[in-house]
């Protein structure tokens, strides 16, 4: 189970606690991941160029303050919070009588359910508290979810690299031969070198009587 602390540190994950982004990217390049490195970079660059262009066009069609997906999420939070009763402690702190009841501070942008702090997006408790305070709820939403930030993410373009000036390459140019190595003298080591901080089990040698990671057969201590 992944445990999330309510205190937000220096980095923000906006509720993304899984490696789904990496898995999605690996699946996205599955058809070209077997290519040699130069061809893989060219193919991935073309994919990224096309994706950024599509999202740039999509973002330019949005006219709202929030991205459409987050607009729907905000509406859903409004509907969830309608039946709840809110008590006001002061101009910033509210007590939402739900099951369970929670405490919301609209000035500090905190809720005792911790979802507001983790996601950077107001939970249903924060939404009803803002509704009772008369403040603009857009001020409680991180810029990460704004349309302007989405457009800024895909504002730059990746330009294609024409191949007309590239030298003609054959398939042998992309073959990488294994390195030429010379076998060192003596018998090869059977035991791996322990990593830094690795705890190696120590045993007592039956020949020299010392504690270590060798036995009577492999002992090299002078007698």
**pLDDT tens track for 1-35:** 333 344 444 677 787 777 777 888 888 888 888 88
42-57 b/e (C-beta count within 10 Å ≥ 16 → b): eebeeeeeeebeeebe
The pLDDT value recorded for residue 93 is 93
**Distance (Å, rounded) from C-alpha 203 to C-alpha 175?**
48
The pLDDT value recorded for residue 51 is 92
Q: How far does CA 59 lie from the centroid of its chain?
A: 22
**Distance (Å, rounded) from C-alpha 86 to C-alpha 106?**
13
Q: Are 119 and 77 in contact (CB under 8 A)?
A: no
The pLDDT value recorded for residue 1 is 31
Helix (H, G, I), strand (E, B) or coil at 97: strand
The pLDDT value recorded for residue 36 is 81
Among positive and negative, which fits the CA dihedral 143, 18, 126, 67? positive
Q: Are 143 and 149 in contact (CB under 8 A)?
A: yes
**Distance (Å, rounded) from C-alpha 93 to C-alpha 154?**
38
* Spans of the chain, pLDDT less than 50: 1-9
Total residue count of the chain as it appears in this document: 223
**Distance (Å, rounded) from C-alpha 175 to C-alpha 170?**
10
Using the structure block, give the residue that is written with the tokens 């609209």.
Answer: 106
Cut 0.85: pTM above it: no
The pLDDT value recorded for residue 103 is 94
User: Residue 99's CB: how many other CB atoms inside 10 A?
Assistant: 6
């Amino acid at each position: 189970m992944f445990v999330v602390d309510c205190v937000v540190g220096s980095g923000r994950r906006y509720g993304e606690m899984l490696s789904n982004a990496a898995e999605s990217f690996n699946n996205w390049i599955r058809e070209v991941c077997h290519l040699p490195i130069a061809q893989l970079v060219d193919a991935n660059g073309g994919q990224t160029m096309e994706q950024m262009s599509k999202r740039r066009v999509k973002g330019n069609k949005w006219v709202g303050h929030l991205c459409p997906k987050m607009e729907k999420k905000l509406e859903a939070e409004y509907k969830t919070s309608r039946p709840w009763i809110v008590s006001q402690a002061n101009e910033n702190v509210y007590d939402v009588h739900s099951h369970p009841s929670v405490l919301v501070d609209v000035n500090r942008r905190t809720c005792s359910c911790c979802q507001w702090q983790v996601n950077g997006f107001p939970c249903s408790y924060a939404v009803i508290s803002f509704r009772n305070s008369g403040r603009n709820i857009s001020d409680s939403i991180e810029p990460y979810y704004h349309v302007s930030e989405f457009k800024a993410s895909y504002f730059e373009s990746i330009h294609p690299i024409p191949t007309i000036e590239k030298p003609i390459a054959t398939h042998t140019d992309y073959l990488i031969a294994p390195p030429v190595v010379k076998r060192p003298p003596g018998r090869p080591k059977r035991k791996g070198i322990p990593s830094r901080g690795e705890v190696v089990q120590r045993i007592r040698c039956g020949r020299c009587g010392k504690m270590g990671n060798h036995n009577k057969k492999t002992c090299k201590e002078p007698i």
